[in-house]
Amino acid sequence: MCLAVPAKIIDRTEFMATVDSDGVTRQVSLMLLPDAAVGDYVLIHAGFAIQSIDEEEAKRTLELFKEIERYAADS
């Protein structure tokens, strides 16, 4: 029930947005994330965008995992 999926906003009109999640587009409400803009990555839950995904932080997490991977490969 609590499943939330990441998606990209590709269009917005007032408080509704069209988002793309792995090639599937759908309409979601932006009432809970009024400042979201086209191009943003957001988390979708129950028909609403509930939080934006910070791309810098996402990259940092991946970089960390990669660094660890290098460390693990060396040791």
Partner 1 sequence: MRLTVEETGRAARFFADGIKRMASRPVRIMEVCGTHTVAIFRAGIRQLLPPEVELVSGPGCPVCVTPNEYIDTAIACSRCPDTVIATFGDMLRVPGSQSSLMAEKAQGADIRIVYSPLDSLRIARENPGKKVVFLAVGFETTAPTAAATVLQAEQQGLENFFVLSAHKLAPPALKAILAAPDSRIDGFLLPGHTAAISGLAPYRFVAEEHRVPAVVTGFEALDILQAIYLLLKQIAAGQPVLVNQYRRVVKSAGNPAAMRVLNQVYRPVDTVWRGFGVIAGSGLRLTAAYERYDAAAALPLVKAVSREPAGCRCGEVLRGLIVPAGCPHFGQSCTPEHPVGACMVSVEGACAAWYKYGQGRWHYE
- Residues forming contacts to partner 1 in the complex (CB under 8 A) are 1-4, 29, 31-35, 43, 45-48, 50-51, 53-55, 57-62, 65-66, 68-69, 71-73
Q: Least distance from C-beta 38 to partner 1, angstroms? A: 18
Report in angstroms how near the CB of residue 67 gets to partner 1 at its nearest. Answer: 9
Cβ-based nearer residue to partner 1, 10 or 31: 31
- Non-local CB neighbours of 20 within 8 Å, separated by 6+ positions: 7, 8, 10
First vs last C-alpha separation in the chain: 41
Nearer to partner 1, 23 or 71 (CB): 71
* Rounded-to-integer distance, Cα 62 and Cα 68, Å: 10
| Residue (of 19, 21, 60) closest to 37 by Cα position | 19
